[in-house]
Amino acid sequence: MIARGSPIPEGSLHGIIPALVTPLDADGRVDEASVHSLIEFQVQSGVQALFVLGSTGEGPLLSREEKLRVVQATVAASGGRLPVLAGISHASPAESVELGVAFQAAGANGLVTTAPYYYLHSQAELLRYFRYLHGRLPLPLTTYDVPSAVKVKLSSATVRVLAEEGLIVGIKDSSGDLAGFREMTLGTAHVPGFRAFTGSEHYLDAALQAGGHGGVLGLASIAPRLYVRIYEAVQRGDLAEAAELQRRAIAVLQMIRVGSSGGSITAGAVGSFKVALREMGVIRHVRVSEPLLPLNAEESAAVLAIVRETRIAEDVPAGGGAWHRGLGVGGEKTAHGLARLVQVALPAHLQLRVGRQLSGFQADGLRVRQVPAGEHQHRCLHGLHEAARHAEDEVAAEEVLAERRGDGVHAGGQRERASR
């Protein structure tokens, strides 16, 4: 367990850290309920930490408000079971610092940043940037080397200086340069607690054998257990098993290439991951941030074909996909899953109201005691959505009445609209 907002212990990062998608609702805002479901999926799959607001998480495209909601929802869903790392990449060093301070207050345990983007910075300027951040950030910093996005690669010599000066505690190397990764791990091996992670889904097994400590991987959003198994196989020396699992991961990764309607590679990757996660019952929507193009029907069908062919949905653990699998079909499992979903999906002032309103269910507080036999999970979800909507309407109406009475008391108690 790790306390909310406390720094990750030195040298503790290792293994698989999924670079998580950001679930959005139909209006393009953060879908907190799907965030909770996604985090539960990751926790049950055995990952070692969580990374939000990276490239896969659409971090550069989200507003400051939405970024904060992502961190808050992730911290709440994790409940101290896993460290939460949050991306603070920005063109402005001062903005990165402000994000870092806000995310620590929201409960994050570590921060991640690329080089500042837009300008083509020199290595000397990159050193200056990280020295600027170090004296101002409240949490340990990991750097994210992704030259395709920021126009400059951190050299092995620069990473070594950053590690030796204690300016960073680790690196996510998404350069795709395995030889450079090996050179970097050799150059930093003498630095106590420094951690090197690959960001390449194609060669986790090779990166671990080249001195890496794990992977921070976008595909781990949908295949966390698969990558955990690769990591475990290498740790016990079963390289043949690791290679076979890596082959399967590469087959799953082909979904990012289904796009043919003009979308970018980023849109293809993020869009396909969300389509897969919805099919697996982990999130509700496939909405991507503007201006990314969503997958069309043909492309989505191609993603679903890959999900079926690779049988990746079979890796969803029991309780790991609250929207479908975690609810089950009928009986006690559905009741337990629905009660849990009410708890994670709704603010406190709506929970009891929803428990009373769920059509076809008998509720005692938050404990749903009976579910009609054979009730399908989609109907359960529809009931939850409708009950939540009606509860919101009730609260709004009661607030209007309270204001007319002039008593200034909100019907829902201390209602925190900003968190919705």
Query: What confidence tens digit (pLDDT) does each residue in 159-203 have?
Result: 999 999 999 999 999 999 999 999 999 999 999 999 999 999 999
- Known catalytic residue at 231: no
**What's the confidence (pLDDT) of residue 342?**
52
- Rounded Cα distance between 219 and 227, Å, is 9
Verify that 337 and 221 share a domain, yes or no: no
Domain stops at, among 232, 249, 266? 249
Residue 363 tokens, joined: 């509720």
Structural domain contains residue 41? yes
DSSP-assigned beta bridge partners for residue 141:
111
Q: Is residue 312 part of a domain?
A: no
**174 & 25 share domain:** yes
pLDDT value, residue 344? 47
Active-site residue among 129, 144, 203, 231?
144
Q: Are 344 and 293 in contact (CB under 8 A)?
A: no
Domain endpoint, select from 183, 218, 249? 249
Indicate if 234 and 336 belong to the same structural domain.
Answer: no
Domain count within the chain: 2
Closest CA to 377 of 344, 345, 335, 317: 335
Residue reference for tokens 């992977």: 215
340 and 229 in one domain? no
Signed CA dihedral, 27, 32, 33, 38: sign only: positive
Q: Is residue 151 part of a domain?
A: yes
Q: Which of the residues 153, 172, 203, 231 is marked catalytic?
A: 172
Reported as a single tens digit per residue, the pLDDT across 312-336 is 988 887 656 554 444 333 334 444 4
Whether residue 295 is contained in a domain is answered as no
Maximum C-alpha span of the chain: 73
Residue 307 maps to a domain? no
- Both tokens assigned to 399: 């607030």
Domain holding 56, by residue range, is 15-249
Report DSSP state, residue 292. Answer: P
Chain mean position to CA 265: 19
User: Which domain-ending residue is among 233, 249, 265?
Assistant: 249
144 is catalytic: yes
Query: Is residue 393 in some structural domain?
Result: yes
Whichever domain contains 70, its CATH number is 3.20.20.70
pLDDT of residue 262: 74
Q: Please state, in angstroms and rounded to a whole number, the distance separating the CA atoms of residues 331 and 171.
A: 47
**Based on the domain organization, do 43 and 192 belong to the same domain?**
yes
Q: Is residue 64 part of a domain?
A: yes
Q: Could you tell me if residue 331 is left (phi over 0), alpha (psi between -120 and 50 degrees) or otherwise beta? A: left
Enumerate residue ranges in the chain where pLDDT < 50: 323-337, 340, 343-345, 353, 356-383, 385-386, 397, 400, 404, 407-420
Is 357 among the domain residues? yes
Q: 339 and 219, same structural domain?
A: no
Q: Is 86 helix (H, G, I), strand (E, B) or coil?
A: strand
